Amino acid sequence: MNRVNPATGEELEPIEEHTAEEVDEAVTRSAEAYAEWSGRPMEERQKLLSGAADVLRENVDEYAEIMTREMGKPIAGARSEVEKCAWACDHYAERAGEYLADERIGTEPHAEAFVSYEPLGPVLAIMPWNFPFWQVFRFAAPTLTAGNTGLLKHASNVPECALAIEDVFREAGYPEGVFQSLLVGSDLVNDVIEDDRVAAVTLTGSERAGRAVGKAAGEQLKPSVLELGGSDPFVVLDDADVEVAAAVGARTRTLNSGQSCIAAKRFIVVDEVYEAFLEAFVREMEALTVGDPMDEDADVGPQAREDLMEDLHEQVQATLSEGATLQTGGEPLDREGFFYPPTVVTDVPRDATMSCEEVFGPAAAVYGVGGEAEAIDLANDSHYGLGGSVWTEDLHRGKRVAREIESGCVFVNELTKSDPRLPFGGVKDSGYGRELSEKGIRAFVNAKTVWVQSAADQDV
């Protein structure tokens, strides 16, 4: 697998891909490990997960540097990502037993009925490069602790991250085969999905990849969870604290150098506060430092690959040609690496490129609307439905508007984020199923109904 440091454009040492034979051997190990792993007491699995959290924290700098080197994440954000993975491990190490405890159901006086949550088998995870540790751990922490085994097909530009994650579980004491990385291209994914030994599949990625994986899993009648793209609305109502909204808006649009599915991408501002918000927002975007991601002071690093930077620039230029106005940014920076500046465009038509497509980089589209009803209408005028954010001083109003936005989650006076305690996922073309919280650990289990009664109570 060929890799390039996105901050310098220099090639990194290639990592050898696994062969089809090696993949088959890995699936065999996963199936064999499942037979033993699924029978272990929950308490043992929770203890091992707590150990994985310890390994993550002990090696936070090493793992953060791998991320930054492979995909350009600013180093402070990379360390925070490792810490968040440890938090997810802590959460399920504490709560998994509670989440998967038998659920008693009242039926007949002479019978006992309950739901038993039991693992399925090896689960294939197809994961992206933008949060190369977090995306994996929000799958692995609950799925492994539920008693499944995991096979990771990571993005081709972050193989070192994939191997490091495998090492985390190994160092924590997990048995061989419980978690393995498959260093393969997309051409082998369908073969793994179709393998009878693989029980389920989860993907975080593009809409196109989601459709392909969902189709392949569906044809095999295997459960799947898809977390796909987003074009999240950031709604600023007329009673919002404009300065705070602008500061948080700039942060959420440029988090991870703008390469986040749940980043705010469409800023929908009621006319009464439009000028004030736009002035503050542009000021906040221009104040951000674009620089070497290994530099602690860098707010925005490079785009992860050159082609991704080029795609982003094409989207911005297409939107401008469709009638939008450039407020700041808009051109790749003249330096080594794949750097694109924080960019703001206004007067964006509803059918323009940045209105209709997911923009995966630090470029924001700002819209002025006549009032609350128009803001909600524009927020929902998207085939995506991952997250959203609403800004208002009236919390009752905020809750009401949040209920009307068509997405998997909405945050009032806060940026949209994933949290181990909260279910996460989308609607419409942003996918289906939920990760994290109790719902996430139940994504890949058999909710088995059990009825128990004495034969003496049988009506014959």
CA 391 to chain centre: 23
Asked whether the whole model's pTM tops 0.95, one would answer yes
Region 409-425 average pLDDT: 98
437, 342: one domain: no
- Percentage above 90 pLDDT, the chain: 98
214, 354: one domain: no
132, 66: one domain: yes
**What's the structural domain count of the chain?**
2
Task: In whole angstroms, give the CA distance from residue 436 to residue 419.
Answer: 7
H or E, element range at 350: none
**What local confidence, expressed as pLDDT, does residue 459 receive?**
74
- Per-residue confidence band for 197, with pLDDT thresholds at 50, 70 and 90: very high
**What local confidence, expressed as pLDDT, does residue 457 receive?**
81
Q: Which domain holds residue 122?
A: 3-228+426-450
219, 244: one domain: no
- For residue 36, the tally of other CB atoms under 10 A from its CB is 12
Structure tokens at 351: 């059918």
Region 250-274 average pLDDT: 98
Q: What are phi and psi of 31, to 5 degrees?
A: -65, -40
194, 259: one domain: no
Region 10-20 average pLDDT: 95
For the chain, give the mean pLDDT: 97
Task: In whole angstroms, give the CA distance from residue 14 to residue 438.
Answer: 39
Residue 145 lies in a domain: yes
Which is the catalytic residue, given 160, 227, 358, 372?
227
Helices 159-171 and 42-58: crossing angle in degrees, nearest 10, is 120
335, 222: one domain: no
Within 8 A by CB and 6+ apart from 200, the residues are 120, 121, 123, 124, 148, 217, 222, 223, 224, 444
Region 246-272 average pLDDT: 98
- Per residue in 102-144, pLDDT tens? 999 999 999 999 999 999 999 999 999 999 999 999 999 999 9
Residue 384 lies in a domain: yes
- Per residue in 275-322, pLDDT tens? 999 999 999 999 999 999 999 999 999 999 999 999 999 999 999 999
**What local confidence, expressed as pLDDT, does residue 111 receive?**
96
The DSSP call for residue 455 is: G
212, 334: one domain: no
Task: In whole angstroms, give the CA distance from residue 442 to residue 101.
Answer: 11
Region 140-168 average pLDDT: 98
Residue 459 lies in a domain: no
**What local confidence, expressed as pLDDT, does residue 375 receive?**
98
- Per-residue confidence band for 456, with pLDDT thresholds at 50, 70 and 90: confident
Vertex 282: Cα angle to 341 and 372 (nearest 5) = 125
Residue 376 has pLDDT above 80, yes or no: yes
Q: Cα dist. 402→11, 56, 416 in Å? A: 45, 35, 12
45, 190: one domain: yes
Structure tokens at 304: 């992860």
Residue 328 has pLDDT above 80, yes or no: yes
CATH number of 216's domain = 3.40.605.10
247, 381: one domain: yes
189, 53: one domain: yes
- Per-residue confidence band for 13, with pLDDT thresholds at 50, 70 and 90: very high
**What local confidence, expressed as pLDDT, does residue 85 receive?**
98
Q: Is 227 a catalytic residue?
A: yes
- Per-residue confidence band for 1, with pLDDT thresholds at 50, 70 and 90: confident
351, 242: one domain: yes
Q: Is 261 a catalytic residue?
A: yes
**What local confidence, expressed as pLDDT, does residue 458 receive?**
84
Residue 203 lies in a domain: yes
**What local confidence, expressed as pLDDT, does residue 377 receive?**
98
CATH number of 297's domain = 3.40.309.10
Residue 173 lies in a domain: yes
114, 209: one domain: yes
Within 8 A by CB and 6+ apart from 362, the residues are 253, 254, 257, 258, 285, 300, 329, 340, 341, 342, 343
Residue 151 lies in a domain: yes
**Alpha helices (H) along 201-334:** 207-219, 242-254, 271-286, 306-321
Residue 420 lies in a domain: no
- Per-residue confidence band for 2, with pLDDT thresholds at 50, 70 and 90: confident
**What local confidence, expressed as pLDDT, does residue 110 receive?**
93
Residue 457 lies in a domain: no
Which is the catalytic residue, given 166, 261, 284, 406?
261
- Per-residue confidence band for 21, with pLDDT thresholds at 50, 70 and 90: very high
